Structure 1
């Protein structure tokens, strides 16, 4: 869609875009295909433990059977690499990309709120969103861990289910940029996800550039009840349990690496 002229009042532009989105409602087949892509990205963004690496042939076959879309092409770019790697090399690369680099970590509220009180509230709000649909996260990960957010989006659908992804679109853009700069094949997974979201606005791109240059907001206190770890760092997975969790629906991650 061509950008609406800047002279059009903001409220009118918003209503026009909303009307276009309503007319472009997805068919059941499109919704199911979208959910499958989200589940694949969720699974492939998890730590490559023995169970996942043992399923690489099957995962590659699923990706090859997807309809010809930009998301499918990006997924194929990842699985071609993923299937050919030594399992130990996969583990090392994953830790380097997601545990040891702040700009490509998978905890979305960090990019929006940084080390501030607002992050703790955002985490609680995500838990409440999940609970309102009767869905519970695995207690081994925070509710803003991207694979968890993706699984919820696949289950709850393109509207409310994908709302957290749209809300954190700038963080997703930054992760993709960081992975691209590192020449990591994981960039293909973020690229596949971004094809499902609205294109970034000029304001989004400017905010991502500023975030890359300056980092998220910082504050010495305020992540209770989730807490911080060490000198302003986030606690590593497994050192806390989010409150009021429902029965888990995702397999616990085997990774217990500290994030720098």
Structure 2
């Protein structure tokens, strides 16, 4: 249950969360997997976010996760960028979702963090940590960048990292990102558009006209239950290993 909760907290804010604040706090308090030093800031996050106006929360969310790429919730962006390897990695991950009985929409991106956490939550308890370990380096990077911005979303990603069981020296990551410039400012966004100028002509098919940046679709901004159906399926270890190689 705690993974599903973290998935919802990272997903687009919705009214449903506001209606169940006491239940969410109780779930965190009763969880036996999260360390106490992780529970406290997570509860503070829930208290603060679910006490603020929903529209204000949604506006901040848009500015935080949907401007620039440094805090992208599409984790293959952090691994493969826009290379062709990303496409194959997503195909492999979709196949793994199918083996688990999860059917995602054609417009949904499988490397969307909340969707991935929903998938991990369907796996056997003894296998969940392994799947989280596959993305621990990304969770650590996002945690450090949120800490650098002094944003309390860091508590949610730190909780995911804690569940993975991976020991990460965040201080080392902070050193690596110390000189990173913000990519969510108007100036930075304008510069990206200038650098990715659209051209037309004979070379348009081969990259002259770049595709729009991938980001979560409308279906992934879940104000209702995730559109996922479950069927009986047995995970394939070979497929798992192939997907792990892409993370």
TM norm structure 1? 0.63
Q: Does 1:37 find its partner at 2:37?
A: no
Contact 1:139/1:248 (<8 A) preserved = no
- Confirm or deny that 1:199 pairs with 2:167: yes
Between 91-100 and 231-240, report the one with greater CA deviation: 231-240
Distance 2:217 2:50 in 1: 28
Query: Which among 137, 140, 163 is matched to residue 173 of structure 1?
Result: 140
Q: What pairs with 1:13-32 in structure 2 (closer than 5 Å)?
A: none
Aligned-partner Cα distance in 2 for 1:131–1:91: 31
> Is the CA contact 2:28–2:39 (under 8 Å) kept in the aligned structure 1?
yes
Distance 1:55 1:212 in 2: 40
Give, in angstroms, the shift of residue 160 of structure 1: 4.5
Question: Residue 53 of structure 1 corresponds to which residue in structure 2?
Answer: 18
8 Å contact from structure 2 (residues 21, 47) kept in 1: no
- Mapped pair 1:115 → 2:115: no
Q: Which moved more, 1:139-148 or 1:156-165?
A: 156-165
Match runs of 1:85-100 below 5 Å: 85-100=52-67
Asked if the contact 1:123–1:143 (Cα under 8 Å) also holds between the matched residues in 2, the reply is yes
SS of the residue corresponding to residue 216 of structure 2 reads: coil
Superposed displacement of residue 209, structure 1 = 2.5
Correspondence 1:69-148 to 2 at 5 A: 69-70=35-36, 71-148=38-115
Choose between structure 1 and 2 for higher RCO, CA contacts under 8 A separated by at least 6 residues: 2
Answer with 154-163 or 171-180: which moved more: 154-163
Structure 2 alignment gaps of length 5 or more: 182-195, 197-206, 221-225, 230-247
Tell me the TM-score normalized by structure 2: 0.66
Q: Deviations over 1:10-36 (max 9, x none)?
A: xxxxxxxxxxxxxxxxxxxxxxxxxx2
Q: CA deviation at 1:101?
A: 3.4
RMSD: 3.6
Change (3 A) 1:236 1:160: same
Aligned residues: 197
